[in-house]
Amino acid sequence: MFDLEHAIADWRQQMLAAGIKTPVPLEELEIHLREEIEQQTKSGLSEQEIVNSAVQKIGQAHMIQNEFKKVEATKEDREWKFVQILFVVITSLFSSFLCGMVIFKMGCFSEATSDQKISCLAAVAAFALLAWGGRLSCRMFPVIRAKRIRDAICISGGVLLMLWWMVFVHIILPRHDFTTGQLLVTILWEMIFPCGIFLGLFWGIET
């Protein structure tokens, strides 16, 4: 004797095997399947034929999974575009802020000489070019399709950057007696500039 609940359970297993493992979409699909079965109960078909017809109408497991993949890919594309826009906005604001401080002699930059200010502006420009350059030169980077490897590279780069900052702040800086202007130039070139390299690497690999 045909068991409707057993047939639906088998259908769920097919969905799971196809990769639809998120509870909410799977539950929604089952609700639609049951509604379709209920609508066809008056068609005169047997229960097995009704289930087969309902499954065909909703879609086979691989077809549904393909649709889910398309939706997920579109969502990921939108999220990545948002991250890219946010990245450009933040780096632009940061660079503009530093340039404004240098040009208008704000804060400690008022004590810097003309040559030191030029060096500071060059460091900020190099930071911005390197950070944005990752997106523009993404074709120069090897294509790494495995997200785990990309994440590992980016995390390793971030760790190295943090280690360099710690060495610079706690070991290198205390051994030198910089003037205010020299200190600003040194910080921009030794801390902000490497940050641009890391951001460019991150953007180039992820793009």
Nearest to 128, CA basis, from 160, 166, 90: 90
What does the buried/exposed string (b/e) look like for 123-145 if buried means 16 or more CB atoms within 10 Å of the residue's CB?
bbebbbebbbbbbeeeeeeeeee
Nearest to 87, CA basis, from 194, 204, 189: 204
Res 117: pLDDT: 95
Provide the residue ranges of all domains of the chain, joining segments of one domain with +: 4-59, 78-206
Res 205: pLDDT: 80
Residue that wins the pLDDT comparison between 201 and 40: 201
Query: How many angstroms separate the first and last alpha carbons of the chain?
Result: 56
What mean pLDDT, rounded, does the chain reach?
Answer: 83
Query: 58-105: per-residue pLDDT in tens?
Result: 666 556 666 666 666 677 778 888 888 899 899 999 999 999 999 999
**What distance in Å separates the CA atoms of residue 33 and residue 39, rounded to the nearest whole number?**
10
Position of tokens 């785990």?
Answer: 148
The total number of residues written for the chain in this structure = 207
**What distance in Å separates the CA atoms of residue 32 and residue 12, rounded to the nearest whole number?**
13
**What distance in Å separates the CA atoms of residue 131 and residue 133, rounded to the nearest whole number?**
5
Q: Report residue 1 as tokens.
A: 């004797």
Res 198: pLDDT: 93
Nearest to 192, CA basis, from 174, 171, 168: 168
Highest averaged pLDDT of the listed ranges 3-12, 22-31, 64-73, 85-94:
85-94
Distances (CA, A) of 149 to 31, 87, 203: 39, 22, 14
CB 141 within 8 A of CB 205: yes
Question: How many Cβ atoms are within 10 Å of 204's Cβ, its own excluded?
Answer: 18
Res 80: pLDDT: 80
Query: 173-188: per-residue pLDDT in tens?
Result: 999 999 999 999 999 9
